[in-house]
Amino acid sequence: MNPTEVRPGIHWVGVNDRTTDLFEGQWPLPHGVSYNAYLVVGRKVALIDSVKAPFAEELLDKIARVVDPNRLDYLVVNHMEPDHSGALPVLRRVAPGAEVLATASALPMLARFYGLTRGVRAVADGETLDLGGKVLSFHPIPFVHWPETMATYEGTERVLFSCDAFGGFGALDGALFDDEADLAYYDPEVVRYFANIVGMHTRPVLRAIEKLQGLSIEVIAPSHGLVWRREPGRVVDLYGRLARMEGEPAVTVVYGSMYDHTRQMADAVACGVTAAGVPVRVVDAARVHPSTVLAEAWRRKGLIVGSPTYDTGIFPAVGQALRLIARKRLGNRVVGLFGSFGWRGGAVGKLAGLVDELGWELLGKVEFRGAPTADDLAQGRELGQAVAERVKG
Ligand code: FEO
């Protein structure tokens, strides 16, 4: 994508990454990701964030189509994670006079990550920087996503550069702005990004939303995904709902199955949910990445988990997904459990222990031996219906 003017004097100069398979070396990127960087051009010029190191040349090319990169006066580092800071060594070589601005807690990271100690300055919370025709101010939002993270605000055009906050996975498919894009593609990518990357930090996200409400914002320009200019409140609302772990009034059924018995019950449970007039998504934990299960569970209020007993415990793929969900501290879920066993149960009991640890509301359990009978399946439908009725309420 070409450099794009977001507002007069403010230019997107980011890149699309469609080749990295795993974000942070672990989260699948089936639709890629964008690293958004922005030029703010007054009499002085600031670059807000950069890109992952392999894309530094592309960033430089885009900057050069707006201003001479040597003219950069400031490199604003909202966040030190290398998807945004990786091009700093190249930028420093090209623009040796540019001052690096970051929070105080970012300074030791700049030194250790890139050996940057000279021409580096810590900015204070609320500090302003007059670029001549453009005015920046700096607003730390710690732990969205690392402790040193801040957002930067441009006051004349009312643009918030929010860094990871309000970002999403998904490369920019030819559209930079929310009013040009297919939101049916981006919304699930925002949910997946939130659950995988930011989900651990729900309280900091809510604190950040509250803090940034004090600014008059017309455009939200995050460091990943779409720029929100038509309805910036939309993505803030979505982040707020995800951070409060409200969940849609819908149900996710997550299961594993060796010989189809537990799968038959998963289908019965899902039919029970549908009979109650509630949307449902069924996920085979052995056939999707745990990060996908996490995102699906984060999205919906109801969660019904099925596992056969395997080696006296929870089916490994189901256990792996639930451990990730527990590690990310997903709360506030209405839950049902089911599972089959051959000669001695165990999985459902162990799942119940996990539900108890997580403080989820357990509405019922169905455990059965071998292939499910018609009675077993009827109980599964009732379980689905009970969870559905609860999430509706
Ligand atoms: Fe997009 Fe936490 O870096």
Q: Residue 149 CA: which ligand 1 atom is closest?
A: 2
Distance (angstroms) between ligand 1 centre and the Cα of 84 equals 7
Nearest alpha carbon, ligand 1 atom 3: 81
Q: Residue 224 CA: which ligand 1 atom is closest?
A: 1
Strands 22-23 and 27-28, sheet pairing:
antiparallel
257 plus 292 within the same structural domain: yes
Distance (angstroms) between ligand 1 centre and the Cα of 147 equals 12
The CATH number of whichever domain residue 329 belongs to comes to: 3.40.50.360
Q: Is 296 in the pocket of ligand 1 (CB under 6 A)?
A: no
Q: What is the pLDDT of residue 393?
A: 82
Q: Is 83 in the pocket of ligand 1 (CB under 6 A)?
A: yes
263 plus 360 within the same structural domain: yes
Instruction: Please report the sign of the dihedral spanned by the C-alpha atoms of residue 22, residue 23, residue 29, residue 32.
Output: negative
Full pLDDT tens readout for the chain, 393 residues: 999 999 999 999 999 999 999 999 999 999 999 999 999 999 999 999 999 999 999 999 999 999 999 999 999 999 999 999 999 999 999 999 999 999 999 999 999 999 999 999 999 999 999 999 999 999 999 999 999 999 999 999 999 999 999 999 999 999 999 999 999 999 999 999 999 999 999 999 999 999 999 999 999 999 999 999 999 999 999 999 999 999 999 999 999 999 999 999 999 999 999 999 999 999 999 999 999 999 999 999 999 999 999 999 999 999 999 999 999 999 999 999 999 999 999 999 999 999 999 999 999 999 999 999 999 999 999 999 999 999 998
Q: Is 201 in the pocket of ligand 1 (CB under 6 A)?
A: no
158 plus 125 within the same structural domain: yes
- Residue 125 CA to residue 104 CA, distance in Å, equals 10
Distance (angstroms) between ligand 1 centre and the Cα of 233 equals 21
Q: Is 189 in the pocket of ligand 1 (CB under 6 A)?
A: no
Q: Is 79 in the pocket of ligand 1 (CB under 6 A)?
A: yes
281 plus 344 within the same structural domain: yes
Backbone angles phi, psi at 237, to 5 degrees: -60, -45
Q: Is 178 in the pocket of ligand 1 (CB under 6 A)?
A: no
Per the rule left: phi > 0, alpha: psi between -120 and 50, beta: everything else, 120 is beta
Q: Residue 223 CA: which ligand 1 atom is closest?
A: 1
281 plus 386 within the same structural domain: yes
Distance (angstroms) between ligand 1 centre and the Cα of 165 equals 9
Q: Which domain holds residue 117?
A: 4-243
- Residue 346 CA to residue 105 CA, distance in Å, equals 48
Q: Residue 163 CA: which ligand 1 atom is closest?
A: 1
Domain count for the chain: 2
Are 281 and 252 in contact by the 8 Å Cβ rule? The answer is yes
Distance (angstroms) between ligand 1 centre and the Cα of 145 equals 6
pLDDT, tens digit, for every residue of 225-265? 999 999 999 999 999 999 999 999 999 999 999 999 999 99
Distance (angstroms) between ligand 1 centre and the Cα of 81 equals 5
Distance (angstroms) between ligand 1 centre and the Cα of 311 equals 39
Q: Give the domain-ending residue among 221, 243, 265.
A: 243
Distance (angstroms) between ligand 1 centre and the Cα of 372 equals 46
Distance (angstroms) between ligand 1 centre and the Cα of 83 equals 6
Q: Is 148 in the pocket of ligand 1 (CB under 6 A)?
A: no
Of 280, 263, 245, residue with least CA distance to 388: 280
145 plus 49 within the same structural domain: yes
Distance (angstroms) between ligand 1 centre and the Cα of 55 equals 15
pLDDT, tens digit, for every residue of 146-157? 999 999 999 999
Q: Is 52 in the pocket of ligand 1 (CB under 6 A)?
A: no
Q: Give the domain-ending residue among 222, 243, 264.
A: 243
Q: Is 154 in the pocket of ligand 1 (CB under 6 A)?
A: no
341 plus 379 within the same structural domain: yes
Q: Is 84 in the pocket of ligand 1 (CB under 6 A)?
A: yes
Q: Is 196 in the pocket of ligand 1 (CB under 6 A)?
A: no
138 plus 287 within the same structural domain: no
151 plus 288 within the same structural domain: no
Instruction: Please report the sign of the dihedral spanned by the C-alpha atoms of residue 54, residue 59, residue 61, residue 64.
Output: negative
Nearest alpha carbon, ligand 1 atom 1: 164
Q: Give the domain-ending residue among 210, 243, 276.
A: 243
The CATH number of whichever domain residue 165 belongs to comes to: 3.60.15.10
Residue type, 163: C
262 plus 232 within the same structural domain: no
Q: What is the pLDDT of residue 391?
A: 98
Of 274, 249, 270, 277, residue with least CA distance to 380: 270
218 plus 259 within the same structural domain: no
226 plus 264 within the same structural domain: no
Burial 65-102 (b: 16+ CB within 10 A, else e): ebeebeebbbbbbbbbbbbbbbbbbbbbebbeebbbbb
Distance (angstroms) between ligand 1 centre and the Cα of 218 equals 23
Backbone angles phi, psi at 232, to 5 degrees: -60, -30
